[in-house]
């Protein structure tokens, strides 16, 4: 069991190392398959561990395995250990399962790309880092994984390193995440100084028995929350995620949708004892989540880049998870994470198929009418979109509505506000998702689409027609290595929701409850009430998107509101004015007033001074033998006189 878990952790690392060390000795496709294979081996390991743990008594499903002492400073020791329990197992299976599918998909997507090997090494490295994050058996190893996924994300966003936008986006993501990492590190320092340990169980013991003062717990929880919101792109540290779409599309699917950005949710669920000891901070997490749902949702309404719309929807969906974790509905937080991983990866990968087919075009204004050209992609994208909008019986419905009903069960001013935010979010989700869907798939095929359609017919229109009727039409939409993973994800997006049917069959929730007992549980009637409202709202959103599309208008009409939304509520501008410009100003001022006159100037002056002193001294060197002799004689006389006089 533990062996399976270790295998799961180490297989992707081995894959990454192998590709790195082998370099050009292996072919590009070998590198791709090594990467894919290593992640799937990891999945097999996780599956073995899952099957064995599932057979155990629900009360002792948590296993801590220590390999050796990694760090020892006096009494303070940090062992290299992994924690295998229901929560980390869910994460392990999502990371390696969805990750494996996405890496497999990359085999087709990245074919012919320069530096393919580097890409696949990074992907395997990312999977390892993410596993380190979720399997790390103590807080320090969690932070190690936390930092490594940030690095992997940086490397992969900046994969097209010859594009200035990509490197800028990579830096932005790294800096934003560094803010969160610093907050987390401070929280850990505080914990070490107060409890002297970074072990999960001991710290949770301290937290739940109330051995530490409330102010300390608040600070620790705030630090953890800071790390979580930076990694999960929640307000106000969210600006990096849309820019991160500069990376290759499978990277967006894996890192910026399915796994890494949900690490914040995992963190809150994992350290729920600490958050429960600081209820105000936990509520803050819920409020941040609720606000992010709305903010990301409205910004998504006006985006034209297919990947950015999906990126904002990711932010919004993670907002739901934060909301759930913040009110203590850990099971549903993890469940939404689980279903979201499937349908969001599906949407990104389907978008990737389109982008791949249209030779890199991402602007939806140049798409349209793809339904007839790419029927397979249309079908899977529609499944993903319906799941995202929360239409039954697809997976998003079960998980999202569970969250809203949990907020209703929480009650009070906070609970009802969160319910309202969640419901408005449902409306927005339906609207922006189907705005995107209609723009991309409906209407007459655009020029660009016609240009890339078929590919085997001489006449473009004919090519498009024949693609529909052809038996092997799916093949013309992209390589099989792309279409098969997308199909698997579409199936998973459809059925994953049945793991938690309120009041009927809730194995997923019971699985998580063993680790994180929920603070609120909705009654079945609350569940069905919110579900009905949410579905009606999502349907309204879809209807709005459809009627706007029919009237060939955009959902948000031109005007001031649209301008504000197009500027993403001016967050970038605000940070620019608050941090970037002042620091630039100070730097420029220092350069003008300090560096150039003082440091550079003094260097020149020191040089000139030395040169002048040298010139003066050189004049003593006359070259005249007799004058030297005289100087020596006089010096000796003076020395003797001084010597005698002093004595």
Partner 1 sequence: MGPGTTWYIAVAAVLFGIGTTGVILRRSPLIVLLSLEIMLNASNLALVGFSRHFGSVDGQIFAICVMAVAAAEVVVGLGLIVAFTRRGMSLDVDTVTELRG
CB of 597 to partner 1, least distance (A): 34
Q: What are phi and psi of 83, to 5 degrees?
A: -110, 120
Three-state DSSP string of 270-286:
HCHHHHHCCHHHHHHHH
- Mask for 607-646, x = binds partner 1 (CB under 8 A): ----------xxxxxxxxxx--xx--x-------------
Cβ closest to partner 1, residue 588 vs residue 622? 622
| 8 Å CB contact between 123 and 254 | yes
Between 359 and 620, name the residue whose CB sits nearer to partner 1. 620
Least Å from the CB of residue 604 to partner 1: 24
Nearer to partner 1, 27 or 627 (CB): 627
Query: Whose Cβ is closer to partner 1: residue 447's or residue 612's?
Result: 612
Q: Measured from the CB of residue 638, what is the shortest distance to partner 1 in angstroms?
A: 14
Cβ proximity to partner 1, 469 vs 623, nearer residue = 623
Contact 269, 87 (CB under 8 A): yes
- Looking at the Cβ atoms of 112 and 615, the one nearer to partner 1 is 615
Is there a contact between 499 and 93 (Cβ–Cβ < 8 Å)?
A: no
Residue 63: enclosing H or E segment and its boundaries?
A: strand 63-73
Q: How far is the CB of 587 from partner 1 (least distance, A)?
A: 45
Size of the site for partner 1 (CB under 8 A): 13
C-alpha–C-alpha distance, residues 334 and 49, integer Å: 19
In this complex, which beta carbon is closest to partner 1, that of residue 455 or of residue 609?
609
DSSP classification of residue 501 = B
DSSP string over 129-190: HHHHHHHBSBHHHHHHHHHHHHHHHHHHHTTSTTSHHHHHHHHHHHHHHHHHHHHHHHHHHH
Q: How far is the CB of 634 from partner 1 (least distance, A)?
A: 10
For 74-123, strand residue ranges (E) read 76-84
Dist. CA 334–CA 134, nearest whole Å:
13
Q: Draw the binding track, 567-606, toward partner 1 (x: CB under 8 A; -: no contact).
A: ----------------------------------------
Give the residue with the Cβ less far from partner 1, 491 or 632.
Answer: 632
Q: At what angle do helices 28-54 and 116-135 cross, to 10 degrees?
A: 20
- CB 614 to partner 1: min, Å: 9
Closest separation between CB of residue 582 and partner 1, Å? Answer: 54
Whichever of 2 and 633 has its CB closer to partner 1, that residue is 633
What DSSP character marks residue 441?
H
Euclidean distance between CA atoms 228 and 83, whole angstroms: 20
C-alpha span between 232 and 269 (Å, rounded):
14
| Minimum CB distance to partner 1 smaller for 75 or for 617 | 617
Element (H, E) at 66: strand 63-73
CB 613, min distance to partner 1, A: 13
Helix (H, G, I), strand (E, B) or coil at 521: coil
Paired with 423 in beta bridges are none
Are residues 332 and 522 in contact, defined by beta-carbon separation less than 8 angstroms?
no
**CB of 629 vs partner 1, minimal distance in Å:** 5
Q: Does 193 bind partner 1 (CB under 8 A)?
A: no
C-beta of residue 46 within 8 angstroms of C-beta of residue 89: yes
Neighbours of 262 (CB within 10 A): 28
C-beta of residue 45 within 8 angstroms of C-beta of residue 80: no
Please say which residue, 480 or 632, places its beta carbon nearer to partner 1. Answer: 632
Task: Give min distance, CB of 645 to partner 1, in A.
Answer: 19
Tell the smallest beta-carbon distance from residue 599 to partner 1 (Å).
Answer: 32
State the nearest-atom distance from the C-beta of 637 to partner 1, in Å.
10
- Binding to partner 1 (CB under 8 A) within 257-276 occurs at none
Query: Closer to partner 1 at the Cβ: 211 or 629?
Result: 629
Q: Is the peptide bond before 393 cis (omega within 30 degrees of 0)?
A: yes
* Residues making contact with partner 1 (CB under 8 A): 617-626, 629-630, 633
């Amino acid at each position: 069991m533990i062996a399976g878990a270790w295998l799961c952790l180490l297989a992707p690392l081995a894959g990454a190392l192998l590709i790195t060390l082998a370099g050009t000795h292996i072919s590009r496709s070998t590198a791709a398959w090594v990467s894919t294979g290593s992640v799937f081996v990891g999945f097999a390991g996780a599956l073995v561990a899952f099957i064995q743990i599932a057979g155990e008594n629900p009360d002792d499903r948590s296993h801590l395995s220590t390999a050796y002492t990694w760090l020892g400073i006096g009494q303070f020791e940090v062992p290299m250990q992994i924690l295998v329990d229901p929560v980390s197992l869910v994460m392990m299976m999502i990371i390696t399962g969805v990750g494996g599918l996405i890496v497999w998909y990359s085999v087709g997507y990245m074919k012919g790309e320069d530096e393919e090997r580097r890409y696949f090494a990074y992907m395997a490295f990312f999977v390892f880092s993410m596993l380190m994050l979720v399997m790390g058996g103590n807080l320090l190893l969690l932070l190690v994984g936390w930092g490594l996924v940030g690095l992997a994300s940086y490397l992969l966003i900046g994969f097209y390193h010859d594009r200035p936008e990509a490197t800028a986006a990579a830096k932005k993501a790294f800096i934003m995440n560094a803010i969160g990492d610093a907050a987390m590190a401070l929280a850990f320092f505080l914990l070490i100084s107060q409890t002297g340990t970074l072990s999960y169980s001991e710290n949770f013991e301290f937290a739940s028995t109330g051995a530490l003062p409330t102010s300390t717990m608040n600070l620790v929880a705030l630090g953890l929350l800071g790390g979580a919101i930076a990694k999960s792109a929640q307000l106000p540290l969210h600006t990096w995620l849309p820019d991160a779409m500069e990376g290759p599309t499978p990277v967006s699917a894996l890192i910026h949708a399915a796994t890494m950005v949900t690490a914040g949710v995992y963190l809150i669920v994992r350290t729920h004892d600490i958050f429960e000891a600081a209820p105000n901070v936990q509520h803050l997490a819920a409020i941040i989540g609720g606000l992010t749902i709305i903010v990301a949702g409205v910004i998504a309404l006006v985006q034209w880049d297919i990947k950015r719309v999906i990126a904002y929807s990711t932010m919004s969906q993670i907002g739901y998870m934060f909301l759930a974790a913040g009110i203590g509905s850990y099971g549903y937080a993890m469940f939404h994470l689980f279903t979201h991983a499937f349908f969001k990866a599906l949407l990104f990968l389907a978008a990737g198929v389109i982008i791949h087919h249209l030779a890199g075009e991402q602007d939806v204004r140049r798409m349209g009418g793809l339904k007839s050209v790419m029927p397979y992609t249309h079908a899977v994208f529609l499944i993903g979109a319906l799941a995202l909008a929360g239409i039954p019986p697809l997976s998003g419905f079960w998980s999202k509505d569970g969250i809203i009903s949990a907020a209703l069960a929480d009650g009070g001013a906070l609970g009802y506000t969160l319910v309202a935010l969640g419901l408005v979010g449902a409306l927005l989700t339906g609207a922006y998702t189907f705005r995107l869907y209609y723009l991309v798939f409906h209407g007459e095929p655009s020029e660009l689409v016609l240009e890339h359609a078929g590919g085997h017919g001489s006449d473009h229109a004919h090519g498009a027609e024949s693609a529909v009727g052809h038996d092997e039409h799916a093949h013309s939409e992209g390589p099989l290595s792309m279409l098969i993973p997308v199909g698997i994800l579409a199936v998973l997006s459809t059925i994953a929701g049945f793991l938690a049917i309120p009041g009927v069959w809730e194995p997923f929730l019971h699985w998580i409850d063993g680790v994180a007992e929920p603070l609120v549980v909705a009654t079945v009637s609350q569940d069905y009430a919110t579900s009905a409202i949410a579905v009606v709202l999502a349907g309204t959103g879809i209807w709005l998107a459809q009627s706007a599309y029919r009237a060939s208008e955009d959902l948000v009409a031109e005007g001031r509101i649209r301008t504000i939304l197009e500027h993403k509520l001016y967050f970038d501008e605000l940070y620019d004015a608050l941090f970037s410009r002042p620091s630039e100003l100070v730097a420029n001022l220092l350069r003008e007033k300090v560096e150039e006159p003082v440091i550079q100037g003094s260097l020149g002056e020191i040089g000139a001074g030395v040169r002048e002193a040298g010139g003066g001294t050189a004049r003593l060197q006359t070259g005249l033998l007799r004058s030297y002799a005289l100087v020596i004689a006089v010096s000796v006389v003076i020395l003797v006189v001084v010597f005698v006089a002093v004595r």
